[in-house]
């Protein structure tokens, strides 16, 4: 009972309107209403229970996932859910499975790359799940280097077909989710080869893999699961697959032909659009991954914050209660920046969604001017937010001490499910190098008078930003958005310009890129952090209703920015943006901001509006009733089904007897 009181007391200290903050977090009143309804629907349905997930062997685990996915689809149809509601329902069901790839990559790929006729043919089948699709790009030998893929699609003019073939072992498709055991169809990336033996590079094709009658692989197709992955439960609910083609024939009209076409005569026709549009689905998914990062981070932070308020260690005097661990400054210094990051990533995710919608509309009007920026922003922010989120989930585990290591804390499985986000949809370092390429191009165009726009507009003020020195004289001076923004802009500019100057010393730019890659990645990170800070500041310019809500967000914005400044002090001081004295004032200010966050911390994580079902964590329970539930949970473990364990007679008893005999000798 004592623990329950702890959280009620915490909630009573909040200095803002939690219900209004829930709406800010959700993005709108409508989004809040849908999210809330869907999360409760899932939580109240016993088929979606997940407390036994880490204990199931793979085959049972997988079958159970299929059951849940089928049940989710049944509910979506029965309740006539909208696309938005259906996607929320799948999100809260919280179990990686083939439907993510079907709805998240297969359908978007056909929408983005298919002609009107192709969309008319394939989309209705996919929407009704009469076919199930996946995204088969990566191969055993190549993932990052998409241009290096080896699968071939050779046009045969005699039969008007493409022949899909895996010429080497390394060309086997490897990793696609949903491929191993479920998908009937795949979008397959293959090198297009036309009769003249000319290689036209990588293109997307729809290939049927399994019979729609008995689910057996079609002739020429070898397909299976790639095996167990990191952690128990976790991402093993997904059938990541392998796939080989032995001269499999598909009709010509199964090459996705919105961007380029092969005619009946075998002529290659390139529409008047950049060829990079074939990567469009990756841009789309990277943008959704940024939004998901804030959810995963918020989930870990919610668990760690509630538990830190419940957990007490040391400090008891005269038999009184001990100190809540959340009151230790070290705990605050580790936890509150993560809380601030969850909010920061939420807002930058909202902005990125806007950017993606904007670039999509422009592309439809044949305006390709913002495509490079959209690629750089989605790649860079995907990299930044997933790296921070993965590291932060592990930090939250440590913040929960020993109990964080228990499966029932929810953190080990969250970590195991989340960490591949640093790799899929582009390895995070490879993606940062793309951002660096974009920055170097922008800097190199400055002398010709080119005015950068969008997220690189600050580089247009390169001369000022190379010179400026922060004016901060006392700690409170850091509580000024333009002061904060200026130092982040100056640091990003100076790191980029230094890289550009070093690059110019190389005779061949590509050699310079290889040699300076580590510095280039640091410049890219600085640029991406600046985007997050600036979008948080922009969010604060909006009219935000609700008592105290804006003030809390302001505090979190400064925590986010000043903590980054503290962590990357080397950059800020070495590039001369701030002095060591100003850095120390920033740290003083940060400490005082932690004191402002402290009474609001539990309410700030309540604002995520997560159900106990979604959190699946005894440490993060809404009611804070941790110890009795931990005790109860321990007894549910299969090892506790018998008092004396299996194996006692074979292995423990003889050992003990042996010891006894030895002792008597």
Ligand X SMILES: Cc1cc2nc3c(=O)[nH]c(=O)nc-3n(C[C@H](O)[C@H](O)[C@H](O)COP(=O)(O)OP(=O)(O)OC[C@H]3O[C@@H](n4cnc5c(N)ncnc54)[C@H](O)[C@@H]3O)c2cc1C
Ligand Y SMILES: CCCCCCCCCCCCC/C=C/C(=O)SCCNC(=O)CCNC(=O)[C@H](O)C(C)(C)COP(=O)(O)OP(=O)(O)OC[C@H]1O[C@@H](n2cnc3c(N)ncnc32)[C@H](O)[C@@H]1OP(=O)(O)O
292 touches, from ligand Y, ligand X, none (C-beta below 5 to 8 Å by class): ligand Y
279 touching ligand Y, by CB under 6 A = yes
240 touches, from ligand Y, ligand X, none (C-beta below 5 to 8 Å by class): ligand X
316 touching ligand Y, by CB under 6 A = no
DSSP secondary structure of 531-551:
HHHHHHHHHHTS---STTHHH
Q: Which of 3, 10, 20, 100 binds ligand Y (CB under 6 A)?
A: 100
Q: How far is the CB of 418 from ligand Y (least distance, A)?
A: 7
Contact map string, positions 116 to 145, toward ligand Y, x by CB under 6 A: -------------------x-xx----xx-
Which residues, numbered 311-370, are part of the site for ligand X (CB under 6 A)?
Answer: none
Decide whether 75 or 191 has the Cβ nearer to ligand X. 191
94 touches, from ligand X, ligand Y, none (C-beta below 5 to 8 Å by class): ligand Y
What does DSSP say about strands 152-156 and 185-194: parallel, antiparallel, or unpaired? parallel
Contact map string, positions 258 to 287, toward ligand X, x by CB under 6 A: ------------------------------
**Cα–Cα dist 627/512, whole Å:** 57
Query: At 166, is the secondary structure helix, strand, or coil?
Result: coil
Decide whether 193 or 419 has the Cβ nearer to ligand Y. 419
Decide whether 153 or 302 has the Cβ nearer to ligand X. 153
Q: For residue 64, give every residue at least 6 positions away whose Cβ sits within 8 Å of its Cβ, in sequence order, or none.
A: 53, 56
- Among positive and negative, which fits the CA dihedral 538, 533, 373, 145? negative
Q: Which of 115, 119, 261, 276 binds ligand Y (CB under 6 A)?
A: 276
180 touching ligand X, by CB under 6 A = no
Q: For residue 316, give every residue at least 6 positions away whose Cβ sits within 8 Å of its Cβ, in sequence order, or none.
A: 322, 323
3-state secondary structure 30-45: HHHHHHHHHHHHHHCC
429 touching ligand X, by CB under 6 A = yes
- Contact status, residue 62 vs residue 237, Cβ threshold 8 Å: yes
Q: For residue 144, give every residue at least 6 positions away whose Cβ sits within 8 Å of its Cβ, in sequence order, or none.
A: 426, 427, 430
235 touches, from ligand Y, ligand X, none (C-beta below 5 to 8 Å by class): ligand X
Return binding residues for FAD: 138, 177
Decide whether 72 or 626 has the Cβ nearer to ligand Y. 72
Decide whether 93 or 578 has the Cβ nearer to ligand Y. 93
Contact map string, positions 361 to 400, toward ligand Y, x by CB under 6 A: ----------xx--x-------------------------
478 touching ligand X, by CB under 6 A = no
Q: Which residues of 144-183 are buried (b: 16+ CB within 10 A; e: fewer)?
A: eebeebbbbbbbeeeeebbbbbbeeeebbbbbbbbbbbbb
> In this structure, what token pair is assigned to residue 664?
């008597």
Q: How far is the CB of 657 from ligand Y (least distance, A)?
A: 50
204 touching ligand X, by CB under 6 A = no
**Cα–Cα dist 203/212, whole Å:** 25
Choose the catalytic residue: 425, 486, 489, 522.
425
> In this structure, what token pair is assigned to residue 558?
């400064």
The burial of 377, by beta-carbon neighbours within 10 Å (0-12 exposed, 13-18 middle, 19 or more buried), is given as buried
Which residues, numbered 524-553, are part of the site for ligand X (CB under 6 A)?
Answer: none
300 touching ligand Y, by CB under 6 A = no
Query: At 155, is the secondary structure helix, strand, or coil?
Result: strand
Crossing angle of the two packed helices 549-567 and 517-540, in degrees rounded to 10: 160
For ligand Y (CB under 6 A), the number of binding residues is: 30
- Please give the distance of CA 191 from its chain centroid, rounded to a whole number: 29
Decide whether 25 or 438 has the Cβ nearer to ligand Y. 438
456 touching ligand X, by CB under 6 A = no
510 touching ligand Y, by CB under 6 A = no
Return binding residues: 138, 177
Q: How far is the CB of 102 from ligand Y (least distance, A)?
A: 11
515 touching ligand X, by CB under 6 A = no
| Among the listed residues 301, 401, 299, 305, the one whose alpha carbon sits nearest the alpha carbon of residue 6 | 305
625 touching ligand Y, by CB under 6 A = no
- Contact status, residue 433 vs residue 525, Cβ threshold 8 Å: no
Q: Which of 15, 28, 144, 592 binds ligand X (CB under 6 A)?
A: 144
429 touches, from ligand X, ligand Y, none (C-beta below 5 to 8 Å by class): ligand X
Q: How far is the CB of 451 from ligand X (least distance, A)?
A: 31
> In this structure, what token pair is assigned to residue 228?
């167990």
Q: How far is the CB of 380 from ligand Y (least distance, A)?
A: 11
Q: Which of 112, 133, 177, 512 binds ligand X (CB under 6 A)?
A: 177
| Among the listed residues 180, 186, 232, the one whose alpha carbon sits nearest the alpha carbon of residue 207 | 186
* Phi and psi at residue 664, to the nearest 5°: -75, -25
627 touching ligand Y, by CB under 6 A = no
Neighbours of 57 (CB within 10 A): 9
Q: How far is the CB of 616 from ligand Y (least distance, A)?
A: 11
- Contact status, residue 181 vs residue 203, Cβ threshold 8 Å: no
181 touching ligand X, by CB under 6 A = no
**Cα–Cα dist 169/180, whole Å:** 17
Q: How far is the CB of 220 from ligand X (least distance, A)?
A: 20
341 touches, from ligand X, ligand Y, none (C-beta below 5 to 8 Å by class): none
Asked about 486 being catalytic, the answer comes back as no
328 touching ligand Y, by CB under 6 A = no
373 touches, from ligand X, ligand Y, none (C-beta below 5 to 8 Å by class): none
**Cα–Cα dist 574/551, whole Å:** 33
Cα angle, residue 461 at apex, residues 507 and 587 outer, rounded to 5°: 100
Q: For residue 116, give every residue at least 6 positions away whose Cβ sits within 8 Å of its Cβ, in sequence order, or none.
A: none
Q: How far is the CB of 424 from ligand Y (least distance, A)?
A: 4
**Cα–Cα dist 438/648, whole Å:** 64
Q: Which of 261, 323, 333, 423 binds ligand X (CB under 6 A)?
A: 423
CA distances from 236 to 64, 105, 239, 407 (A): 12, 19, 7, 16
Catalytic machinery residues: 425
Residues binding ligand X (CB under 6 A) = 101, 135-138, 143-144, 175-177, 235, 240, 420, 423-424, 426-427, 429-430, 433, 517
Residues binding ligand Y (CB under 6 A) = 94, 96, 100, 104, 135, 137-138, 143-144, 146-147, 177, 276, 279, 282-283, 285, 288-289, 292, 371-372, 375, 417, 424-426, 430, 434, 437
């Amino acid at each position: 009972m004592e623990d329950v009181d702890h959280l009620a007391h915490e909630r009573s200290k909040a200095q803002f309107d939690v219900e209004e903050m829930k709406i800010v977090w959700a993005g709108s009143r409508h989004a809040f209403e849908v999210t809330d309804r869907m999360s409760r629907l899932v939580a109240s349905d016993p088929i979606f229970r997940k407390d036994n997930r880490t204990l199931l062997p793979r085959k049972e685990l997988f079958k159970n996932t299929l059951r849940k996915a089928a049940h989710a689809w049944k509910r979506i149809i029965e309740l006539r859910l909208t696309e938005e509601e259906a996607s929320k329902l799948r999100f809260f069901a919280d179990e990686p499975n083939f439907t993510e790839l079907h709805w998240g990559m297969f359908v978007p790929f056909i929408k983005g790359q298919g002609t009107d006729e192709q969309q008319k043919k394939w989309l209705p089948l996919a929407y009704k799940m009469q076919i199930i699709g996946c995204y088969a790009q990566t191969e055993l030998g190549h993932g990052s280097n998409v241009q290096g893929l080896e699968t071939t699609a050779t046009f045969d003019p005699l039969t008007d077909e493409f022949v899909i073939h895996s010429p080497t072992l390394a060309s086997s498709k490897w990793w696609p989710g949903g491929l191993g055991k479920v998908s009937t169809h795949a979008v397959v990336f293959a090198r297009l080869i036309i009769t003249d033996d000319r290689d036209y590079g990588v293109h997307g094709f729809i290939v049927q893999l399994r019979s729609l009658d008995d689910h057996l692989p079609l002739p020429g197709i070898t397909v299976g699961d790639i095996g167990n992955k990191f952690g128990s439960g976790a991402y093993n609910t997904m059938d990541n697959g392998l796939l080989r083609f032995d001269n499999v024939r598909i009709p010509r009209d199964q090459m996705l032909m919105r961007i380029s076409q092969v005619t009946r005569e075998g002529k290659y026709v390139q529409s008047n659009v950049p060829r990079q549009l074939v990567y469009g689905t990756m841009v789309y998914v990277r943008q959704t991954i940024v939004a998901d990062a804030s959810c995963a981070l918020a989930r870990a932070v919610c668990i760690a914050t509630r538990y830190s308020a419940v957990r007490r260690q040391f400090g008891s005097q005269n038999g009184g209660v001990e100190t809540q661990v959340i009151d230790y400054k070290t705990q605050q210094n580790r936890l509150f920046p993560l809380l601030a990051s969850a909010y920061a990533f939420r807002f930058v995710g909202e902005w990125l969604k806007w950017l993606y919608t904007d670039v999509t509309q422009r592309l439809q009007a044949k305006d390709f001017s913002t495509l490079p920026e959209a690629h750089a922003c989605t790649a860079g922010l995907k990299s930044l937010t997933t790296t921070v989120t993965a590291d932060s989930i592990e930090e939250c585990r440590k913040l929960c001490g020993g109990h964080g290591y228990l499966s029932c804390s929810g953190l080990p499985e969250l970590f195991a499910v989340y960490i591949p986000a640093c790799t899929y949809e582009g390895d995070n370092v490879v993606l940062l190098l793309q951002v660096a390429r974009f920055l170097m191009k922008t800097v190199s165009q400055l002398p010709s008078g080119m005015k950068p726009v969008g997220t690189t507009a600050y580089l247009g003020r390169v001369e000022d930003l190379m010179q400026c020195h922060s004016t901060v004289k006392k700690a409170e001076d850091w509580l000024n958005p333009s002061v904060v923004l200026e130092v982040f802009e100056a640091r990003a500019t100076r790191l980029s310009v230094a890289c550009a100057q070093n690059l110019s010393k190389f005779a061949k730019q590509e050699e310079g890129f290889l040699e300076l890659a580590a510095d280039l990645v640091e410049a890219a990170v600085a640029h991406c952090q600046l985007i997050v800070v600036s979008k948080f500041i922009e969010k604060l310019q909006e009219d935000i209703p609700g008592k105290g809500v804006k003030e809390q967000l302001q505090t979190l914005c400064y925590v986010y920015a000043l903590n980054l400044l503290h962590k990357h002090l080397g950059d800020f001081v070495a590039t001369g943006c701030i002095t060591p004295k100003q850095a120390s004032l920033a740290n003083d200010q940060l400490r005082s901001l932690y004191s402002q966050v402290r009474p609001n911390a539990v309410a700030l994580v309540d604002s995520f509006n997560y159900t106990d079902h979604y959190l699946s964590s005894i440490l993060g329970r809404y009611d804070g009733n941790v110890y009795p539930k931990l005790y109860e949970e321990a007894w549910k473990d299969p090892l506790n089904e018998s008092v004396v364990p299996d194996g006692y007679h074979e292995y423990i008893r003889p050992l003990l007897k042996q010891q006894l005999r030895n002792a008597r000798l």
